[in-house]
């Protein structure tokens, strides 16, 4: 694009790129003329052999055939884009010189075969000359310099031969020829403008495609570099988290010894409370490290599924047992309902267990003391399975603003829970939705796609599971 901007300072017709493209466009059309030239030369010689001598006609035919052969050599060695050495302007000059020779060879038929008084013969010659001018105009119109060079020999002989050889109404024929050439000149000018505009649009499109390709390549490189940096960062943080576990486990072990007075009585109750606080803080820090590791593994794609047929009622029972101590400390009642007749879930058992732990743990944190957290499973609207976790206020207990105030005092737990739960759901093609209820409760719902559903008999209800 920078090269194009630099060329915008020069006229369109003088731009090297436009000249090169116009020359390539003209070469292709002129090659078609040179392919047909031997046929026309032989046909014209056959029509004129009765009025002209055989030797001049033979020389004229051979000259045109030689021009055709010369063109293909010149085009292959000098004018084609891959040919080294010449600037586009110099190639145009070489092309113009050849056109003068080639067009002159064709137009030389006029003085050779002109027969004064033979109207049919002479009109045939004039048609050959005017046809040559027309072909040159339509073939070389993108470059006026070439058009003039190619049409000049036929134009000169078209005007001069009738006057020099003698012809009835010669002046009128010359006038008609001048008008014809003027019309063709106007057409050539218009065609040149249109051709250059088309070439310009073609070059701009090529520039845009080239620029877009370069930008896409750069974006892909930057994306790969960013992905590599993210993976390196994730590996580093995971390693750091792993290294933190050793001293953290030691801190928790020592605080447990202090809390439980394993080595004898401390003598002062504040020390016991201090040991309890240290232990609880260690548990919370360990949980945060676990959450951080899970998030980083999700983002770096390090988690792979090992799916199997799972019964949700058994997964719920395990989640209730795991969340029991936390619920007891919060005085929260846990309930679970998953009909045994439900289809099986095609999922990774460990990831599903961790997903349920995050959902239930968050629900307990958001629930009021003495409230209820209920888990349920059923069919979703999309034909797959849905898991719902609902936190609600205690029956007959605190309600209204008092309940909201009580819930607001509870920590929402690690802020990474939602990102982890959503990542685990998306690994199975599912979605996580969080809905606040009017009474201050919250509904967490995971919907799995139909292809994750397996009938109790073992057949996939929604298609082959991934």
- Residue 170's pLDDT is 55
pLDDT at residue 176 tops 80: no
- Residue 344's pLDDT is 92
Confidence at 414, pLDDT banded by 50, 70, 90: very low
What would the mean pLDDT of 186-206 be, rounded to a whole number?
71
9 or 394, higher pLDDT: 394
pTM as predicted:
0.43
What would the mean pLDDT of 346-364 be, rounded to a whole number?
89
List domains and CATH numbers for the chain.
Answer: 2-217 (no CATH), 307-454 (3.30.565.10)
pLDDT at residue 34 tops 60: yes
pLDDT at residue 465 tops 70: no
Rounded Cα distance between 106 and 130, Å, is: 12
What would the mean pLDDT of 114-126 be, rounded to a whole number?
80
Segment 303-348, tens digit of pLDDT: 778 899 999 999 999 999 999 988 988 899 999 998 888 899 999 9
Determine which of 89-103, 126-140, 261-275, 302-316 has the lowest per-residue pLDDT on average: 261-275
Most confident listed range (234-248, 402-416, 432-446)? 432-446
Determine which of 277-281, 287-291, 410-414 has the lowest per-residue pLDDT on average: 410-414
Segment 359-389, tens digit of pLDDT: 998 888 888 888 899 999 998 888 889 999 9
Rounded Cα distance between 158 and 431, Å, is: 84
Q: E strand or H helix at 229, and its extent?
A: helix 170-260
Q: Are 428 and 318 in contact (CB under 8 A)?
A: no
Q: Are 377 and 338 in contact (CB under 8 A)?
A: yes
User: Of 73, 60, 65, which Cα lies nearest the Cα of 36?
Assistant: 65
Distance of CA 59 to the CA centre of its chain: 61
Instruction: Please state, for a pLDDT cut of 70, what percent of the chain lies above it.
Output: 74
Segment 416-430, tens digit of pLDDT: 778 788 888 888 888
Sheet holding 344-348, edge to edge: 307-310, 344-348, 453-454
Rounded Cα distance between 238 and 231, Å, is: 10
Residue 390's DSSP bridge partners are 374, 443
pLDDT at residue 275 tops 50: yes
- Residue 395's pLDDT is 44
User: For residue 106, which phi and psi values (nearest 5 degrees)?
Assistant: -70, -45
What does the mean pLDDT of the chain come to?
77
278-285: long-range contacts, CB 8 A cutoff, minimum separation 24: 278/251, 278/252, 278/254, 279/252, 279/255, 282/248, 282/251, 282/252, 282/255, 283/252, 285/248
Instruction: Please state, for a pLDDT cut of 90, what percent of the chain lies above it.
Output: 13
User: Of 381, 369, 343, 365, which Cα lies nearest the Cα of 417?
Assistant: 365
Three-class secondary structure of residue 205 per DSSP: helix
Segment 207-243, tens digit of pLDDT: 788 888 888 888 888 887 777 766 666 666 666 666 6
Segment 93-106, tens digit of pLDDT: 888 899 899 989 98
What would the mean pLDDT of 290-303 be, rounded to a whole number?
72
User: Of 318, 317, 331, which Cα lies nearest the Cα of 364?
Assistant: 331
């Amino acid at each position: 694009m920078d090269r194009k901007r630099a060329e915008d300072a020069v006229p369109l017709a003088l731009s090297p790129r436009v000249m090169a493209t116009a020359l390539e466009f003209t070469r292709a059309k002129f090659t078609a003329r040179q392919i047909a030239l031997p046929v026309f030369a032989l046909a014209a010689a056959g029509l004129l052999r009765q009025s002209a001598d055989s030797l001049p006609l033979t020389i004229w035919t051979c000259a045109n055939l030689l021009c055709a052969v010369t063109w293909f050599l010149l085009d292959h060695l000098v004018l084609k884009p891959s040919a080294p050495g010449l600037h586009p302007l110099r190639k145009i000059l070489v092309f113009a010189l050849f056109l003068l020779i080639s067009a002159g060879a064709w137009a030389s038929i006029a003085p050779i075969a002109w027969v004064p008084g033979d109207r049919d013969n002479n009109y045939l010659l004039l048609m050959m000359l005017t046809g040559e001018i027309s072909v040159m105009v339509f073939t070389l119109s993108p470059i006026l310099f070439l058009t003039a060079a190619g049409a000049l020999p036929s134009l000169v002989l078209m005007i001069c031969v009738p006057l020099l050889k003698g012809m009835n109404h010669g002046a009128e024929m010359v006038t008609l020829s001048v008008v014809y050439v003027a019309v063709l000149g106007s057409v050539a000018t218009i065609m040149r403008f249109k051709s250059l505009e088309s070439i310009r649009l073609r070059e701009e499109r090529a520039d845009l495609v080239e620029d877009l390709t370069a930008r896409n390549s750069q974006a892909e490189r930057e994306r790969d570099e960013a992905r590599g940096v993210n993976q390196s960062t994730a590996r580093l943080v995971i390693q750091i988290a792993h290294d933190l576990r050793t001293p953290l486990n030691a801190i928790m072990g020592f605080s447990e010894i202090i809390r439980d007075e394993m080595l004898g009585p401390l003598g002062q109750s504040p020390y016991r409370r201090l040991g309890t606080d240290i232990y609880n803080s260690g548990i919370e820090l360990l949980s945060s490290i676990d959450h951080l590791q899970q998030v980083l593994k999700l983002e770096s794609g390090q988690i792979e599924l090992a799916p199997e047929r799972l019964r949700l009622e058994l997964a719920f029972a395990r989640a209730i047992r795991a969340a029991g101590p936390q619920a007891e400390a919060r005085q929260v009642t846990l309930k679970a309902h998953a009909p045994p007749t439900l289809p099986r879930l095609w999922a990774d058992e460990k990831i599903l267990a961790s997903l349920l732990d995050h959902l239930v743990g968050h629900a307990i944190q958001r629930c009021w003391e003495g409230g209820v957290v209920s888990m349920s499973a059923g069919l979703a609207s999309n034909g797959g399975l849905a898991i719902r976790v609902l936190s609600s206020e205690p029956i007959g207990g605190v309600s209204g603003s008092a309940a909201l105030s009580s819930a607001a005092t509870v920590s929402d737990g690690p802020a990474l829970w939602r990102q982890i739960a959503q990542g685990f759901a998306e690994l199975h093609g599912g979605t996580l939705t969080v809905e606040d209820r009017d009474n201050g409760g919250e509904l967490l719902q995971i919907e799995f796609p139909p292809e994750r559903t397996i009938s109790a008999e073992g057949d996939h209800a929604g298609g082959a599971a991934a």
